[in-house]
Amino acid sequence: MKKFIEKMKPKTEGAAMSKTSDPLQTNEEYQVQYKNHEICEISSASQPTEELIPIGSSCHVNRELIPVKINYFSQFFVISALFIYLNPILAQSGLSASQLGLTALVTNALVTFARLISGPIMDRTKKKNRMIVILSVVTAAVTLCFLVLPKEREYVMEGQFNENGFFKARVHPDKKITDDTFGSNYSSHPSVCWPAIASECYVVDKLFDRMNESKFNLVIISENETKWTALYSIHRLLTSPAHEGWTNKSTANNTVLYCSHLSPPRGNDSQCIPIQNERIKAATYLTVAMGLVLRTVVSCSHAPILNLLESITFGILGPGKSRFFGQTRLVGSLGFIIGALVTGVAINQFSRNSDGSFVRFASIDPNDRSTIVNYTPSILVGVSFAVISAFSTPCIKQSSDRCRLKIHKAILVAFRSIEMSKCMLSCVLIGFVLSLVSEYFTLILTTEYGVSHTFLGLIMSVIVVTEVPMFFVSGSLVSRFGPSLCVSIACFVWTVYFGTIAFVSNPWAILGAHAWSGLAFPLANNAILYQAALVGRDRSLNVDGNLVASMQAITSAISFGLIPCFGGFIWGILLDYLPGRYLFAVAGCYTSAVMICVPIISVAINRLCSK
């Protein structure tokens, strides 16, 4: 029996050594682990051999992974509840699209830097779960600070100045108002909740984009319920020659005033129709600075958590069961879906109810970016699940292995390889698309498209539901058709998506377009990872060791860190000058150009290298 076993050993080992592996699979010679987007190389000789897994063991529940799965669920819940709403939250404090682009530039740059320096720091500590607890607590604490971010408001008053020095304000009903709506106590023309005094009002000259220096108060004199008008006397706070020009305009010219404060209506008419004229005031420099600091700190504290969880998960599974990582990661996708749905409904319930009757001024667009929305539920839900993650983390059991970093070697290989150069070019081109989708699509849909937050939660859930099966099949597609063609196909999917939402308004068509867009990211991401894996295992580069994860870390840093810094800033500036629909049309033109250029560039480089 012993002789028979000895004869079988060389055959088994030879079979294992001759076995070929897919670039996206784990290499037999070196076990590669992800550590905060850095690379640790551990010789397979120092690792335990891959154990034989009996049939049916996939159904076995690994109890050590239960707190890890709770963490994945909680952290992705935080992402869908809080991080996708960061730009809308900051917009409620008056930040413009350009200022949001500036915060994206600084935040993404510092997040990339935080990931780079956090790797060596966390690899020196044996208890990574303690780091997750600290980072989760910091994330929760800083998130609460968004509640105290200044939110200044101003109020619109619209009408005409007449020759007698009075201001005649006029509104129009947003919905059909009948006697049945307000009961029998109303006449045929119910009263409007006209403010008794409008304080510190000023006029903006839209032609020259400047504010008139004169400020004044408006005091109500009389109301005309039949014509939906009210007459106000003007009490000047600052005498200026320019003020005379505004007050002496013809009654045919409509003038928009912006006032700092409104007093309650005269009398005690609790059944009058409210005026929807509250708008977001432009943020001060202090508010912009506070928003920038809060967004940067909360992003930098949360970014390394998922990398730590990936490292811990691979450590618990071991090299023999690393293929079960996808099952653990799927719990995170479930948390994202539930978080998106729950948070969307909560935001809708806490925000101003648009189903009630109200009146507004003609110049006010109810779907513009100045719409008042209450994002307190988003902040509180994000804090709650960050705390849940912190409480469940101490239950995680982990190994304390340390690894040797190969950052400098990976960078040298990346710039020496023609294939990696093509891969990094794809990362740059795709990164600009991802920066638009990740930074601004929630802001544009909820403001310019009038999409409710409940429906927005459904949209994000549909995207994830589409992405999950695509992640399973995209590897085979990349292996069959090649990375360049798959990147081109992904850009075709994005072109159709951007073109659809740029020209349609039907919410169900928008939902279908976003479901279609879920096919693009898994395909493009796996194509880039596949290309990086080929470079990492290329023996012709004369590299001792396996640099697969190092190459993939570089592509991740480019696609999700470096390029979004500039992409978010550029898209933000464009959004200040272009409506959201035009911006999506521009993005569609860009992705169509990338769709054509990527295969052509790849073929051209291959021909040049073959000569």
Domain CATH for 372:
1.20.1250
Task: Kindly state whether residues 426 and 516 are assigned to the same domain.
Answer: yes
**Model pLDDT, residue 478:** 83
Residue 273 structure tokens:
């129709």
Residue keyed to tokens 């939250």: 89
Asked whether residue 57 is assigned to any structural domain, the reply reads: no
415 and 398 both lie in a single domain: no
pLDDT at position 255 is 81
Please name the helix (run of DSSP H) or strand (run of DSSP E) that holds residue 218, with its range, or none. strand 216-224
Residues of the chain with pLDDT under 50: 1-59, 175-187, 207-210, 239-243, 250-251, 322, 354-355, 400, 403, 405
Rg, Å, the chain Cα set: 30
56 within some domain? no
Which of 537, 545, 445 lies closest to 497, judged by CA? 445
Distance, CA of 500 to chain centre = 20
What's 237's DSSP letter? S
Q: Which of 405, 420, 440 is the last residue of a domain?
A: 405
Q: What pLDDT was estimated at residue 31?
A: 35
Dist CA 110 CA 247 (whole Å): 51
CA dihedral 45, 46, 52, 58 (to 10 degrees): -130
pLDDT number for residue 123: 56
Q: What is the pLDDT of residue 406?
A: 54
The answer to whether residue 17 sits within a structural domain is no
Whether 132 and 259 map to the same domain: the answer is no
Task: Note the pLDDT of residue 488.
Answer: 92
> In whole angstroms, what is the distance from residue 126 CA to residue 133 CA?
14
The confidence score (pLDDT) of residue 514 equals: 92
Asked if the structure places residue 5 within a domain, the reply is no
Regarding whether 593 and 473 lie in a shared domain, the answer is: yes
Nearest to 77 by CA among 389, 295, 294: 389
Q: What's the domain range around 539? A: 407-611
161 and 113 within one domain: no
Are 193 and 248 part of one and the same domain? yes
How high is the pLDDT of residue 318? Answer: 61
For residue 269, give the DSSP letter: -
3-class SS letters over 383-427: HHHHHHHHHHHHHCCCCCCCCCECHHHHHHHHHHCHHHHHHHHHH
Res 384: pLDDT? 93
Quick check: is 548 in a domain? yes
Say which CATH number the domain at 546 has.
1.20.1250.20
Residues pairing with 168 in the sheet: 160, 231
Helices 453-481 and 325-350 cross at an angle (nearest 10°) of: 160
The per-residue pLDDT for range 378-433, each reduced to its tens digit, is: 999 999 999 998 898 888 776 545 545 455 666 776 677 777 788 888 888 888 88
Q: Which of 361, 385, 405 is the last residue of a domain?
A: 405
pLDDT of residue 548: 59
- Residue with the two structure tokens 């012993």: 2
Q: Do 364 and 227 share a structural domain?
A: no
Q: For 173, list phi and psi in degrees, rounded to 5.
A: -70, 140
Judgement on whether residues 261 and 324 belong to the same structural domain of the protein: no
Q: Kindly report the pTM of this predicted structure.
A: 0.73
| 547 in any annotated domain | yes
CA distance 276 to 72: 42
Residue 263 sits in a domain whose CATH number is 2.40.30
pLDDT value for 352: 60
Please state, in angstroms and rounded to a whole number, the distance separating the CA atoms of residues 179 and 426. 63
Question: Does one domain contain both 435 and 341?
Answer: no
Number of domains in the chain: 3
CB 177 within 8 A of CB 357: yes
